[in-house]
Amino acid sequence: MSNRGPLYGLSAEIARKQAAKYDHDLERQVRLWMGEILGEPFPDAGFQEAMKDGTLLCNLINKLEPGSVKKIKTSKVPFMQMENISQFLQAAERYGLKRTDLFQTVDLYEGKGMNAVLDCLLALASQAKTKGVVTQSNPGVKVAAKNERNFSEEVLNQSKMEISLQYGSNKGATQSGMTAPGTYRHL
């Protein structure tokens, strides 16, 4: 973002709100988790700067699922760095992340959507935990497995006879205290 001028008005307000939402504790947890997976401490550089070229992300997904990213480009040319990020995102989707969990390449490269990057890495940690990857730091949650149930036709028909409590209850309902319209209530 160094090539951008200062923000004013609505743009500045949006940038302030995004910065306020950023969770530094979550970033610390994700840094620890990534360091454990990679087998080396996360670089001391800023979170965005350390991952901007995409090589760290490609190495991360290759540790989780070997061969996910075939060729990691080490060039300092911006297009090549963005290509690394794009390859990571494609590999993360193949690993099991939903498309809605992924971030856009520019979110990381330009540093404008670091909340989305953090959310994506948290979803990746959750998916890794689901696939049996065990680490000391535990960001994310274990994704629940599908629990499909098959009921017999008799049980399904029996459930149709019962009025669900979502529709309310008529237990305890009486007409005491009710008066016809236009009449007085006698006290």
Round to whole Å and give the CA distance between 81 and 106: 11
**Residue 92 CA neighbour count, 13 Å, CB half:** 30
Residue listed under structure tokens 């500045």: 12
pLDDT at residue 143 tops 80: no
CB atoms under 10 Å from CB of 84, counted, come to: 26
Least confident of 9-13, 118-122, 129-133, 154-158: 9-13
Residue listed under structure tokens 């009710």: 178
Section 141-161 average pLDDT: 81
Q: How many residues does the chain have?
A: 187
Tell me the pLDDT tens digit for each residue of 176-186.
Answer: 666 677 677 66
- What is the set of domains in the chain, with CATH numbers? 9-131 (1.10.418.10)
pLDDT at residue 1 tops 50: no
Tell me the pLDDT tens digit for each residue of 23-78.
Answer: 888 889 999 999 999 999 888 888 889 999 999 999 999 999 999 999 999 888 99
Token digits for 27?
């970033």
Percent of the chain with pLDDT over 90: 43
Considering only residues 4 and 101, tell me which one the structure prediction assigns the higher pLDDT.
Answer: 101
Q: Of 98, 126, 111, whose CA–CA distance to 51 is shortest?
A: 111
Considering only residues 138 and 127, tell me which one the structure prediction assigns the higher pLDDT.
Answer: 127
